[in-house]
Structure 1
């Protein structure tokens, strides 16, 4: 009886402590050709989609002129919508010709703090086409690490990159840890088993995240390849896609923003 009572007290204490932790909303979004192709109106539309998040991890920021400027403009627009935002932009990835990109992470400064500006994971340079970008963030003094990653296309062996990234994470990094990105493969395939066997979970499952070029009746969604993986000391309260298309006749305009949907992870740190 005493053991049962002690166990119940422990559960209640854990729930109370967890309930006191700040809830954070993280969006991961491959924003296609994020650079000079996005005009002020489109940047404002993107800002409206992401404004309720606390953190935005962007893949496919243009490496040349226009990419960093687009991130700065987006942050400026967000700053005029009621909250203060800051951002970091990675160096260009050390990639084969024509596939070099930058990553960006944008966040609300009232909820999130940083102590460094992040870095590309050079240890993976020879194993992936685009090295992931790593940034340590702090919520109420609690540190977690965010990795932003864009793997190769599905027909160019993204699986070997995911294996290399998974090995690096498990061997070299501490948790709490979140991996956000476009993996170009479904989270259900065996290549993710190593992460899952080590306590990582996917924010979404069986959720298509890319947009077709044309709407087939009412179906404009294509492949389930974008996701957010989180370690076991992250407590998920919600995971979903943000469907900013909604109707077939909006697909053409939606694709001007991106051909991917954002993925949301709402979480607390245990």
Structure 2
């Protein structure tokens, strides 16, 4: 039998390195962030502050989202097992009308010896149309100067060793997608959502340009998912807004709309 795309509605995933998400975020900034994210079904956040204020900021965001017309739930990781000053938390937020958790979110401890911040994993099942499921990995790599390709190689092996699952990897890789470390995934039916789109913000706008590095992305298995749309969410828009918008984050969110492929 040939593969058929499920009749279910498309799913909308957004991933965002939200930079030091914690008590310093004002109510106005939480509202701005919520308005950027509210149209999506599931959110993967990186750089939630590990100390006091990080979990509270996620709860504040969920509270705001719950006042925008849909019911949301959320899950926050324990602090990553990281070198000093590199520890963070991750968070997932999702619309309960669209998704339910079928495997509880957890940090992947199998990878803690290989990565600075072990990915945060959860398994969701769709609640509408023909049922489908996916395992979402939320990941923030070490800095570009610290050889993040070492981490990406380990994560690629983990994904290949769990190829029976519909794994989607979302996050900040601190690598461009044309780096050779991604070849082992590309050769195993995985594709990148973005292809060279810049996702980080410069400190200053020059000649109308405020975008910098192409390092945030979503990687999905093309035999299990049909890509509908993918892009960054440019919440800056104009140079004169760069300074104020950098208070939200120095990264743009990346979104992917997709459908499950049913065999």
TM-score (norm 2): 0.95
CA distance in 2, matches of 1:19, 1:113: 18
1:244 aligns with 2:235: yes
Per-residue Cα deviation, 1:18-65 (whole angstroms, up to 9, x for no partner): 251220110000001000121110000000000100011000000011
After TM superposition, the runs of 4+ consecutive aligned structure 1 residues lying more than 4 A away are none
1:132 aligns with 2:119: yes
CA distance in 2, matches of 1:226, 1:97: 24
- Does structure 2 retain, via aligned residues, the 8 Å contact 1:30–1:258? yes
Count of equivalent residues: 257
- Who is 1:62 aligned against? 49
- Tell me which of 198, 203, 211 is aligned to 1:208: 198
SS of 2:203 mapped into structure 1:
strand
- Does structure 2 retain, via aligned residues, the 8 Å contact 1:175–1:231? no
- Who is 1:268 aligned against? 259
Gaps of 5+ in 1: 1-9
Shift of 1:211: 0.1
- Who is 1:102 aligned against? 89
Q: Per chain length, whose mean CA-contact separation is higher, i.e. which structure has more relative contact order (CA < 8 Å, sep 6+)?
A: 2
CA distance in 2, matches of 1:102, 1:23: 28
CA distance in 2, matches of 1:158, 1:204: 19
SS of 2:210 mapped into structure 1:
strand
1:22 aligns with 2:13: no
- Who is 1:4 aligned against? none
- Tell me which of 28, 43, 46 is aligned to 2:30: 43
- Does structure 2 retain, via aligned residues, the 8 Å contact 1:187–1:202? yes
- Tell me which of 107, 132, 148 is aligned to 1:158: 148
Gaps of 5+ in 2: none
CA 1:195–1:35 in 2, change beyond 3 Å: closer, same or farther? Answer: same
- Does structure 1 retain, via aligned residues, the 8 Å contact 2:6–2:260? no
- Who is 1:3 aligned against? none
SS of 1:187 mapped into structure 2:
coil
Larger Rg: 1
